[in-house]
Amino acid sequence: PTQTERVNANLRLQISTLRANVSRLPKPLARMVNAAADEFEGNVAETSVANLNQTLDQTVTRPCEEAVNGRYPFARDSSEDISMADFAKLFAPGGLMDRFFAQNLAPLIDMTGQEWSWKQDARSSKDLAKSTLKAFQAAAEIRAAFFPSGGSTPLVSITFTPTSLNSEADSAVLNVDGQIVQSAQAGNAPSIVTWPSGAASGSASLSLMPEMPGRESALKFEGPWALKRLFDKATVTGDGASTEARFVIGGRDVAYTIQAGSGASPLILPALSAFSCPKAF
């Protein structure tokens, strides 16, 4: 802890001691002491928030904005990707977001509800920004989806099960960094794809056979987020363990159910589009 943090902690202890002895005082004096304690506590809270903002800006906000701003998947229409290395630096267990949260915020947050909230019994958290809290909750959801095994690099096993194929197509081939998911008119088995694969340059494509003259027959994307870009082209229904993605290519459609372990699929994770770098409390 810094010297300021130690001083603040000592002040909080003294204020707590002061309040504990108020009941022994005459009522007029007790009111005065309580008022003084409230003022001291408010000053300590303001100092703590100021220090928190400074630490946040230096250790999280600046590196986060350098990595995230204007880059896919956080900027959905951008042609520039965030690198998997920068993504891991921000969101991995023990990464910038997780470390700051554990060291500074965890005791101040109620995480029992669907949406996190600041604990109201902590004076220092009563007036903190909800937008900043949402950023850290989104980061936690991203971490859970992309780092399910707790590793330092994103790695997810996704099960694709072909569910339907247009009658004008004999087959469909989903190719993720060389990992093939085959669809035919009958007899389609589930296939497991590991993503990101760690390939130097990622790629993902979906092709319908046979090719038809004058009609589009394939979708293809390059880069570390190629599979996510491909699934942006799908119509997605359902959530959790039962999610279907349907693609229409040149008027012909093919559909898959997708499942990523027991958690949310990283391919359609709302927290990715909702995330923005935390700025201040």
- Name the pTM for this structure: 0.81
Alpha-helical (H) ranges within the chain are 3-20, 27-56, 62-68, 84-91, 96-100, 130-146, 226-231, 270-274
Cβ burial, residue 18 (10 Å; 0-12/13-18/19+):
middle
Q: Token pair for residue 185?
A: 């008119």
Q: Residue 65: which pLDDT band, with cuts at 50, 70 and 90?
A: very high
The pLDDT tens digits of the residues spanning 1-57 come to 544 455 455 555 665 666 676 677 677 776 776 666 565 555 545 556 777 888 899
How many CA within 13 A on the CB side of residue 48?
A: 25
Domain boundaries, the chain: 3-148, 156-267
